[in-house]
A = this chain, B = another copy of it.
């Protein structure tokens, strides 16, 4: 019988190795897998590459992971936000590497990794600083940049509801990067607010089919902060 639920965050994060690329869902405070990020801090993996839309705020969560010197590199679209003090300081000190990616290219690169597309062309960023060093080719009369898939060793995802097969549904803007990161992670770990009892989530309204999910932990976390 398939049952992807594990009993604890520690169990959910077992085996995350040093040097891993970790995809972290969420946009702003919504849909962010806070308990799993805390768990990753506990778990101890270091030399991480973190892929997330933002670069953490305050002294908790991603910011704390960075403050502890565990993040070698961050890949994101918008590292500068209210309260991203830890990142800013590490960046200015040259102690963290930054790969800045347009938000749509970030989303598409993650989806590509999940879909078996190793590379694709896009008009976004052509003719800008972010296209430097990249292959450019014209399509339909406009220059397009070649971008690579962005797979993760681990994806950390927050869902609103999950069933034992790992099927997921989200709540309003909590969907954001979570479904595509679930696709792009080699090991996809989910914290869910609610559990859907058998026979599981209605097959017509599953957003992330269980095939993309490896482990689920039930964390009735409550409302996002902010």
Contact = CB atoms under 8 A, between A and B. Distances in A.
A137 B170 CA distance: 38
A120 B121 CA distance: 6
A158 interface: no
Interface residues of A, number: 22
A169 interface: yes
Contact of A117 (B108, B169, B204): B108
A210 to B, nearest CB: 17
B120 A169 contact: no
A121 B118 contact: yes
- The A interface, classified by DSSP as helix, strand, loop or mixed, is mixed
Interface in A101-149: 108, 112, 115-123, 137, 139-140, 144
Interface of A: 108, 112, 115-123, 137, 139-140, 144, 169-172, 203-205
A24 B5 CA distance: 41
Nearest to A119: B121
